[in-house]
Amino acid sequence: MTSGATVTASRHWRARTIRRLRPLGFLFGPVGVLLALFVAPLVILVVMSFQYNSLYGTQTGFTLDNFRAMFTDPAYRAVARNTLIIATSAMAIQLAIAFPLSYFIAFKAGRWELPVLLLLVLVDELNPIVRIYAWRMLLGREGLINDALQWIGLTDRPVDWLLFSKFSVILVLSMSWVNYTTLPLYASMKAIDPIVFETATDLGAGWFTRWRRILVPLAAPGIFVAILLVYVPMFTDFATPALVGGPSSYMLGNQVADLMLEIGDWGAGAALSLVLLGATAMISVAAYFLSRLNQLD
């Protein structure tokens, strides 16, 4: 009896232990995948950034030169300034388009609300490279836009700055990412009760006051998500500047790609990638505080 009771107690103890550890097993699965696919490559990137790691170089060992060059070389500062101008301009254009479009979809579209949302989703199904090449066909010297400008008499020759310029990169980035800006803004605005606007109107608030004191603060979480989805990735975009940009639109994403793939300086490329990661973290923190505007008095 004593032996049977001991075996039964042991089985109950094992069963209780398994029940308690089972949630941890479900948790460790995705955590393990995260460690393998994110943390491990990040550690490798950090190690590479502090080393002489060039495909064609002979130096080896620990160094801070990779990071020192990021902050002392005027060429890096010029590319960073250029990237900031292009990404910020594109983000501002997208917000200028997405705000009224999101407001229209959320409050005015009516039965057209779902078709417009589906259209925004379907637009993104087109391959990004195909979209960029389509813009090349539109903006080129013999493209549709130049043909239209000459046909209506605004110019008597093709306009060269429409393509392979900073303008073309800002335009293509804006149009390529505007749906990712619109959807989170729409989700935030959809959560706003229309009665709030009606009450503000009854109290004498004009459209600008309603926009500044109600719409923008309550839609701030959507702005935060849009910045994470759009503004941050644009800093590392290299396909758009490479295909429709020129020397004036060289961005940090192109710099990383060239360091890694063309020059073979993996240490410098890893260091620049980490600097970009830190910059995007700062942008994310700023966007988070921006999303808390609706909690301020």
Q: What is the pLDDT of residues 158-178, one digit of tens each?
A: 888 898 999 999 999 999 999
What pLDDT is recorded for position 1? 47
- End-to-end Cα, the chain, rounded Å: 72
Q: Within a domain: residue 186?
A: yes
Strands (DSSP E) contained in 37-184 are: none
Q: Within a domain: residue 48?
A: no
Q: Within a domain: residue 224?
A: yes
What total number of domains does the chain contain?
1
What pLDDT is recorded for position 296? 47
Q: Within a domain: residue 288?
A: yes
| Burial class of residue 85 (count of CB atoms within 10 Å of its CB; 0-12, 13-18, 19+) | middle
What pLDDT is recorded for position 297? 46
Three-state SS for 175? helix
Q: Within a domain: residue 40?
A: no
What pLDDT is recorded for position 208? 86
Which CATH number do you get for residue 131? 1.10.3720.10
pTM to 2 decimal places = 0.83
Q: Within a domain: residue 183?
A: yes
- Whether residue 240 contacts residue 168, with contact meaning beta carbons closer than 8 Å, is answered with no
Closest C-alpha among 287, 284, 264, 286 to residue 276: 284
Q: How far apart are the C-alpha atoms of 241 and 252, rounded to whole Å?
A: 10
Q: Within a domain: residue 32?
A: no
Amino acid at position 292, single letter: R
Q: How far apart are the C-alpha atoms of 65 and 268, rounded to whole Å?
A: 8
Closest C-alpha among 162, 144, 128, 177 to residue 249: 162
C-beta contacts of 260-265 below 8 A and 24+ residues apart: 263/54, 263/55, 264/54, 264/55, 264/56, 265/53, 265/54, 265/55, 265/57
Sign of CA dihedral 275, 280, 286, 288: negative
Q: How far apart are the C-alpha atoms of 78 and 255, rounded to whole Å?
A: 11
What pLDDT is recorded for position 100? 92
Range of the domain at 238: 74-295
Q: Within a domain: residue 208?
A: yes
What pLDDT is recorded for position 169? 95
Local mean pLDDT, 10-residue blocks, the chain (297 residues): 59 70 71 79 89 78 88 90 94 94 91 89 82 89 88 87 92 92 92 86 84 86 87 89 89 92 89 89 78 56
- Whether residue 284 contacts residue 228, with contact meaning beta carbons closer than 8 Å, is answered with yes
